[in-house]
Amino acid sequence: MRQKALNNLSTTDDHGMHIVGLAKDQSGKEYYMVKNSWGVTNDFEGYIYVTRPYVEYKSTAILVHKNALPKSIKKQLKPTNNIGL
């Protein structure tokens, strides 16, 4: 579905977003709190709240700081000359 939407141009990958946290609405539904690269001109001072399906649909890459990784995953990584884990 995602690849088809990219191929037929019904969706694009045209800007960066920075996931900075999780939030829940009044009913308990989870959203990712995203700092949008478009600036601070919306009602939430530059942040938007998106669902997991939205992130899965729109993301082409996700970067995670090494300090955010669970220890069980971090210990599986092998250090390279470029990064010190």
Mean pLDDT of 66-84: 79
Mean pLDDT of 29-37: 89
Q: Quick one: 52 exposed, middle or buried, by C-beta within 10 A (0-12, 13-18, 19+)?
A: exposed
Q: Which fold has domain 15-74?
A: OB fold (Dihydrolipoamide Acetyltransferase, E2P) (2.40.50)
Q: How confident is the model at residue 82 (pLDDT cuts 50, 70, 90)?
A: low
Ordered by start, the domain boundaries in the chain are: 15-74
